[in-house]
Structure 1
């Protein structure tokens, strides 16, 4: 063969080894061959019998690689345009999760569309429609890490048409951040009836979020200019409502001023020249210092499925509520009782060999087609599957409903990640809010602000548990005509 331009790279492996200087081609780490290395698959190149077989792949011992930091899921909630996505994008920028060049590109593109102030939110609002309208529709996901914790950001949509999506986001959260805008007029719109601030705070409480941080955003707006009176006015208006929901101001409620666009008050304390009256901690250090959450790592594995997609197999997403799962383990998808095997595990985009409670994960499954999985199904331990049922008894609090509710009334129930149409089969008794006493007679109807125990029937089989045994799978909300009308907890599943 002539030594043409094309052939000058064709050497056999042994010639190539002679031609290259060993010092250039081998890394010190590669040179150390451990007994485990010798058992690896052979190198792709073998030339006759003379050349010894060389292990080319660097071997990763199959040891437990699992995220060491504590996982905390943070959902950003609040009225449309309060600045949730911008704060999320700014946090990612400050913690180095989005590089500078990407942000500069977003800024350029946003400027071309005369939307300069939106560029940070594009780190979380990734699809074109969300960017064009400046409205989040799906729950955006991202993560950042501190020395002690791994935070997953869930950026919930603020628009009232997308509340069902927001409920799915809140169901996965441990910590909620209610963003309110201090700009003149914007706070009032969000907080008055019809605004989303109230409904979102209530849904977060129902979803079982333990701690609520209220970020008073847009404090750098010309109408506010870091004014303490305006900050206190927003705080004083919203506090009674949050107390009524059951948040305790001493333990599980914190207020902070900040500016999402400039980043003040998120990672570092606000400069004293701007805001001499607030000398409390900034947002990221504060959530980093919050006490650890008690997770059920010893129970059976349970993960409600939030979303699924196809990628060389079926991938399901969700938050692990209890127990652990390993690569290769056999699990069940309920309520259909489909047996599956775990092919790959990802915890926030990093491949791991096992996952535990609190982690936001993607699991690639063998043995099930993507169309056979729906959001609201639950991936669980094969030996100890979760309860399923169609009929259950629940204690329900009617929050706002113009007319009365009696047997035969139907609504949409949101329980963990599932949304299912339900009908009230029978009203069992009324419960006195103050004393907890139950009425002796069956009520004919219930109305706003009353608490009742009722029997509910679902249109299909769903996964649920008694609230007292497993709160995450036993609390629900009822919605009708785009409004949340009631919240409740499962008392007993009628199998």
Structure 2
């Protein structure tokens, strides 16, 4: 079930040198079974080369900066728009040839490294309450503001929602008590700069959850221990399962499972203390599924908490509340997790997740690679517009530079807000990101009411981009070891793995997974369900 597993790379896409070597039997997942909890385990790097396929598809892969093969996506020409486009292209090419190498010593970067955390789980599991309570415990919501939230919650006869109001800011979210957008907040500890992404738990808002997960390093899967609520979230159709799977596919590297509401009367012991049996009952039921979708159980941390009382969020609960848990609190656990390796000296790559006008064109996204500072000259892809960074904002404050892992807001000069779309990528002139409408992908079919054939259309989520996509050709069905089981199958169905040629309606910025994983993994959704997950194997020219 793990689309990033080495078994998911077909042997007939491997290089000739690899084919000559005796390959060991593939494991069910690339995760190191001996990895210690909290340790980041990197997937193996696979080498893909051109491969001839008997369907006359091109066997050459576009280079990372070969973008002339696709028509640029621009707003409708007006006046001298064509001349401006030509000038922008010339400037971009000149910058690419003259850009100096990046030197990290030139920047005064924050010693506290960024760590982005997304809270996942079924609706009403307590994600927003935990997020808001963490902000209170870390001093990011003052007493006066908290009093205001409490009065507003009481007015709705929902006093337990008071902490959730710190992230559920819209009137509609507060009236319904349900998160609809992916809320965001930040706090700083002695060692880290945390960005909290509070994902909605309702199945209607899964696209917003995917957007949050694609920016996260750490996932906190919140499950409710309340009688009946855990079972509802974990049953087929509940979001506990889908969120755990989508987090893995989105690139979340580490998972913490928080068992919430252990203080609820439906599960507490007769003396009011937390029930150890209920905690381990939830763990026993969920752990096999997490393994099945690719999470290494040895690297998953399980923590009992009460989001409402705050027990075990920052401080350990009193012994009379819980005397059987001897691990760290949630905040201590987050502080001791090792952040992923950052591409500090790499070229800038930043998918755009939001845009708006605010004294100019403002864009927001997670900086995946490189450093961005004020006055940097960058290029917006795929429309190849040269821009200049006018301002950098981190956690709502002005900054001089942003580093990999930062969820950053930028004010840009040289581009109108109408020229930017969510899913565009800001990049270095010396290393323009690839873009295409067609690519070969390795797919794992998860759920669909019928068989899937060539011509099937759905929606693809790839980094921040969301586009319509169709399966042009099914190239091969793959077995567990990644070898071609059948060339050009007539159809695929749930549980099958395949190699397919995909085509999007509009060009998207992508890279092969083995070149830049953050731009090479995706999900395909249809009728409110995740139909398939996969990785980009090779780019194609239309």
* Aligned pairs (5 A) from 1:455-466: 455-466=501-512
Residues of 2 paired with 1:166 and 1:269: CA distance? 30
Quote the Cα distance in structure 1 between the aligned partners of 2:154 and 2:109.
41
**Which residue of the other structure, out of 101, 119, 130, is the alignment partner of 2:144?**
101
Q: Is the 8 A contact 1:139 1:165 kept in 2?
A: yes
Identify the residue that residue 167 of structure 2 maps to in structure 1: 124
* Superposed CA offset, 1:83-117 (max 9, x none): 00000000000000000110011001110110100
The answer to which structure, 1 or 2, has the higher relative contact order (CA under 8 A, 6+ apart) is 2
Paired position in structure 2 for 1:85 = 128
Report what 1:490 is aligned to: 536
Aligned residues of 1:84 and 1:179 also touching (Cα < 8 A): yes
d(CA) in 2 for partners of 1:441, 1:489? 19
Residue 418, structure 1, aligned to residue 451, structure 2 = no
Q: Following the alignment from structure 1 to structure 2, what is the Cα–Cα distance between the partners of residues 185 and 328?
A: 55
Q: Is the 8 A contact 2:392 2:408 kept in 1?
A: yes
Note the C-alpha offset of 1:65.
Answer: 5.1
CA offset digits 1:155-205 (Å, max 9, x no partner) = 000011110011000000000000000000111111101111100010000
Aligned mates of 2:340, 2:211 — CA distance in 1: 20
Classify the secondary structure of the residue corresponding to 1:259: coil
Distance 1:112 1:440 in 2: 63
Question: Of 210, 213, 236, which aligns to 1:193?
Answer: 236
- Which residue, out of 219, 223, 226, partners 1:183? 226
Query: Does the 8 A contact of 1:77 with 1:155 survive in 2?
Result: yes
Determine whether 1:163 maps to 2:206.
Answer: yes
- The alignment status of 1:432 with 2:479, answered yes or no, reads yes
Aligned to 1:333, the other structure's residue is in SS state: strand
Q: Choose from 430, 433, 437 the match for 1:383.
A: 430
2:160 equivalent to 1:113? no
2:42 — aligned with what?
none
TM-score, scaled relative to structure 2: 0.79
**How far apart are the structure 2 equivalents of 1:112 and 1:74?**
31
CA deviation string 1:316-345 (max 9, x = no partner): 011000011111011111111111100000
Q: What is aligned with 1:452?
A: 498
Do residues 283 (structure 1) and 330 (structure 2) align? yes
SS across alignment from 2:487: coil
Partner of residue 119 from structure 2, selected from 68, 71, 76: 76
Query: Equivalents in 2 of 1:187, 1:284: separation in Å?
Result: 23
Measured after TM superposition, the shift of residue 224 of structure 1 is 1.4
Question: 1:155 and 1:351 mapped to 2: Cα distance?
Answer: 23
**Displacement of 1:64:** 4.9
Correspondences of 1:291-370 after superposition (within 5 Å): 291-370=338-417
Residue of structure 2 in register with 1:137 after alignment: 180
Matches within 5 A, 1:5-16: none
CA–CA distance in 1 between the matches of 2:236 and 2:487?
A: 35
Per the normalisation by structure 1, the TM-score is 0.86
Tell me the CA shift for residue 494 of structure 1.
0.8
Does the 8 A contact of 1:305 with 1:375 survive in 2? Answer: yes
- CA deviations over 1:30-67 (Å, ceiling 9, x no partner): xxxxxxxxxxxxxxxxxxxxxxxxxxxxxxxxx95543
Cα offset for 1:421? 0.4
Q: 2:456 aligns with which of 398, 409, 413?
A: 409
1:233-244 correspondence runs (5 A):
233-244=281-292
Query: Which residue in the other structure is 1:173 paired with?
Result: 216
Contact 2:115 2:339 (C-alpha < 8 Å) held by counterparts: no
Aligned to 2:26: none
Residue in 1 aligned with 2:22? none
* Structure 1 residue 440: Cα displacement: 5.0
| Residue of structure 1 aligned with 2:489, choices 423, 443, 447 | 443
- Structure 1 Cα separation of the partners of residues 280 and 245 of structure 2: 22
Instruction: Tell me, yes or no, if structure 1 residue 263 matches structure 2 residue 306.
Output: no
Unaligned ranges ≥5, structure 2: 1-105, 269-273
Residue by residue, what CA displacement relative to the aligned partner does 1:361-412 show, whole Å, maximum 9, x if unpaired?
Answer: 0000001111211111111111211000000000000011121111000010
Contact 1:319 1:358 (8 Å CA) reproduced? yes
Moved >3 Å (runs of 4+)? 63-66
Find the partner of 2:301 among 249, 254, 258. 254
Give me the whole-angstrom Cα distance separating, in 2, the residues matched to 1:138 and 1:482. 16
SS of match in other structure, 1:168: helix
Does the 8 Å CA contact 2:217/2:339 hold for their aligned counterparts? no
Alignment equivalent of 2:523, drawn from 477, 482, 493: 477
In structure 1, C-alpha distance between the alignment counterparts of 2:238 and 2:128, rounded to whole Å: 18
Size of the aligned set, in residue pairs, is: 431
Aligned partners of 1:379 and 1:207: how far apart in 2?
20
The Cα of 1:68 is off from its aligned counterpart by 2.5
Displacement of 1:315: 0.6
* RMSD of aligned alpha carbons: 1.0
